[in-house]
Amino acid sequence: MTAAELIEQVQSRYEGELTEAEARSSVQAWLGVPAVDITKMAQFIVEEWGPLHLSTISGNDRGDHIDLIYHFVADGVSLNVRTAVDKGVDEIETITPIVPAAIMYEREITDMFGVTMAGHPDPRRLVLPEDWPEGDYPLRRDNIGAEEGVKDNGQT
Amino acid sequence: MAKLDFPVGPQHPALKEPENLRFSVDGELVVDADIRIGYVHRSIERSCSERNFVQDLYLCERVCGICSNAHTQNYCQAVEAIAGVEIPERAQWIRMIMHEFERIHSHLLWLGVAGHEIGFESLFMYVWRDREVIQDILEMVSGNRGHYAMTMLGGVRYDIAPEMVTKIREGLAFLRQRAEYYADIATSEQTFLERTSGVGVVSGETCVQLGAVGPVLRASGVAFDVRRTFPYLQYDKVEFPVRTSELCDVLGRTLVRVQEVIDACDICTQCLDMMPEGDVNMRFPRKVPEGEAVARIEAQRGEVIYYVRSNGTDVPERVKIRTPTLANLPASLEMVKGGYIADIPIAFASIDPCFSCADRMVELNDVSSGDSRTMTWAELVKLSRRKS
């Protein structure tokens, strides 16, 4: 299957809002959904293309919101699903019950960006130590190193 | 018998990379396993978005000491995709050769470690002696035995000179022959079979569900290889099989890796035959236009994925890295469940984890009585060898 065919299939069969749908090459498809629809999209992808590979979830602080990109491999196509979590909301539903491979990546996102995964089966910290201060998220752009934790964040 | 909770790691003077593993055991059987990572988190992703594209090359090289070349290649692939730059053809072939050299050295290193973990020291000695051949070739080509610093934005740093080609061909012929010998040992040597066959079993279905990659996934019968699914560089022009095994155990993973060494030798020979003359690098713009790219590569341990976003300056906005060990961890926990304590070292080693498995501190804690005794990783390995 090519990326264009995949996009076509999504557009004709997925019932929901798409904020983005683009085939950037024959093997790379990009989709966007609102944050509230992420489990619906994950469910759709799994139903259409069976148990599939989730490579990782990338987070990126874009100022007023945090971009989450779910990198799937569906039927030989690199399928990237983007969603935006507004700062202040800081929560999104977990996809781990639908795609078990997400378990570690979702914990990493919670650690690094402070986006809580609602309903996550194992919401412990993944990479940050137990005594890391609450509310301090290393990959947020407004983070310049907390009083405790990172004392000198390359600022001096 | 009461269940025991049994932590392994994280701190030990001899540990190179600390991780904390926790096992629940019932007698000799492991019933549950859990892992705690992050002891060597170096904030490379954050540091990447505070340095420019060229400086990041050096950071990415140091994500891993074994697959350093795969990381720089993947990073360059992502950045070059954003910039819309096509590197010279000779550079692409040299990148492929380096990529396969690294696979050979890493798989041989792993085979030696696997031999060591089950107490098959002569295998370890032989394999590591042969590995010197590829290390010498890597040093001849790049000047370094590790952290080759061969890949740069816009190509590769050094050319492969004609007099090197003869030496490389000789070395590859030798390594290929040795790899065939090791494949024979792995399938016929009783000591090796008893300790690997039926150990660390995980089904293909579970592997896909849990997102496993590389030889772990292929040894469970799933033919997923990035070089075939998303061909990069010139991989669509060379011939190589995607090695799989239906065994789903440590033996299967060993066979897949040894056969990949043979294939890597063949790929290198094809590259040397097909490589055209020409430039090996080009001028790369300091500023990268706004955009984003996802790049995948089949490193020796499995799929590596980079997501890079640029905002038009000379500093990337975001560099996201996912290494194969993180992807394989959930599957590795499944491998040890239901197995024996003595099989933990080889089962964990079979995913070729990036954190060192050597010399850990183990504490056996009896939950019901509060009794606790301490055991070093060396003792655990000794227990593992007694089984052999």
Residue A126: list chain B partners with CB under 8 A: 37-38
Q: Which residue would you say has higher pLDDT here, B310 or B38?
A: B310
Is a pLDDT exceeding 80 seen at residue B388?
no
Its ipTM equals: 0.90
CB nearest to B230's CB, from A52, A56, A78: A78
B342 and B213, same domain (yes or no): no
- pLDDT band at residue B369, thresholds of 50, 70 and 90? very low
Q: Which residue would you say has higher pLDDT here, A129 or B77?
A: B77
CB nearest to B320's CB, from A58, A73, A128: A58
Residue A53: list chain B partners with CB under 8 A: 208, 211, 213, 224
Digit-coded pLDDT (tens) for B309-331 = 999 999 999 999 998 888 888 88
Domain's final residue, options B283, B298, B322: B322
- pLDDT band at residue B370, thresholds of 50, 70 and 90? very low
B288 and B350, same domain (yes or no): no
Structure tokens at B305: 């994925």
How far apart are alpha carbons B19 and B328 in whole angstroms? 15
How far apart are alpha carbons B93 and B162 in whole angstroms? 15
How far apart are alpha carbons A139 and B48 in whole angstroms? 11
Q: Does the bond joining B231 to the residue before it have cis omega, within 30 degrees of 0?
A: no
How far apart are alpha carbons B347 and B339 in whole angstroms? 9
> Angle between the B250-274 and B162-188 helix axes, to the nearest 10 degrees?
160
CA distances in angstroms from A121 to A1, A64, A83, A104, B304, listed in the order given: 34, 28, 21, 11, 26
**What are the residue boundaries of the structural domains of chain A, listed by start?**
3-86
Residue A60: list chain B partners with CB under 8 A: 309, 317-318, 320
Digit-coded pLDDT (tens) for B211-244 = 999 999 999 999 999 999 999 989 999 999 999 9
Vertex B128, ends B122 and B129: CA angle to 5°? 90
Strand order in the sheet with B291-299: B291-299, B302-310, B316-322
A56 near B CB under 8 A: yes
Mean pLDDT score of chain A = 87
Report the range of poorest mean pLDDT among A129-143, B112-126, B274-288, B323-337.
A129-143
Whether the CB-CB separation of B153 and B284 falls below 8 Å is answered with yes
Average pLDDT over residues B192-199: 88
CB nearest to B41's CB, from A27, A73, A127: A127
Q: How far is B248 from chain A (nearest CA, A)?
A: 18
B221 and B279, same domain (yes or no): yes
Domain A3-86: give its CATH superfamily: NADH:ubiquinone oxidoreductase Nqo5 subunit (3.30.460.80)
A51 near B CB under 8 A: yes
B334 and B189, same domain (yes or no): no
Q: Do A100 and B211 touch (CB under 8 A)?
A: yes
Average pLDDT over residues A16-23: 90
pLDDT for res B326: 87
Q: Which residue has the tokens 């070292």?
A: B345
How far apart are alpha carbons B367 and B6 in whole angstroms? 10
SS3 content of chain A, % helix, strand, coil (to 5): 25, 30, 45
B236 and B336, same domain (yes or no): no
Q: Do B50 and A53 touch (CB under 8 A)?
A: no
- pLDDT band at residue B339, thresholds of 50, 70 and 90? confident
Q: Do A51 and B296 touch (CB under 8 A)?
A: no
B318 and B352, same domain (yes or no): no
Is a pLDDT exceeding 70 seen at residue B29?
yes
SS3 content of chain B, % helix, strand, coil (to 5): 50, 15, 35
B132 and B167, same domain (yes or no): yes
pLDDT for res B270: 94
Residue A51: list chain B partners with CB under 8 A: 205, 208-209
Question: H-helix or E-strand containing B155?
Answer: strand B155-156
A113: nearest CA partner in chain B: B46
Question: pTM for this one?
Answer: 0.88
End-to-end CA separation in angstroms for chain B: 25
Dihedral pair phi/psi, residue B274, rounded to 5° = -95, -10
Select from A49, A55, A152 the residue whose CB has the most chain B CBs within 10 Å, as the one to mutate to test that interface: A55
Select from A24, A110, A127, A136 the residue whose CB has the most chain B CBs within 10 Å, as the one to mutate to test that interface: A127
How far apart are alpha carbons B269 and B258 in whole angstroms? 17
B218 and B363, same domain (yes or no): no
B151 and B166, same domain (yes or no): yes
Q: Which residue would you say has higher pLDDT here, A106 or B119?
A: A106
B171 and B110, same domain (yes or no): yes
Q: Do B294 and A53 touch (CB under 8 A)?
A: no
B90 and B36, same domain (yes or no): no
Report the range of poorest mean pLDDT among B3-7, B128-132, B263-267, B358-362.
B358-362
Digit-coded pLDDT (tens) for B95-131 = 999 999 999 999 999 999 888 888 889 999 999 999 9
Domain's final residue, options B305, B322, B339: B322
Spell B250-287 as b/e; 16+ CB within 10 A means b: bbbbbbbbbbbbbbbbbbbbbbbeebeeeebbeebeee
pLDDT for res B373: 47
Average pLDDT over residues B67-75: 92
- Our count of domains for chain B comes to 2
pLDDT for res B346: 83
| Ramachandran category for residue B25: left, alpha or beta (phi over 0 → left; psi -120 to 50 → alpha) | beta
Residue B330: list chain A partners with CB under 8 A: 100-101, 103-104
B36 and B49, same domain (yes or no): no
Domain's final residue, options B288, B307, B322: B322
Average pLDDT over residues A24-40: 92
Query: Domain span at residue B85?
Result: 44-322
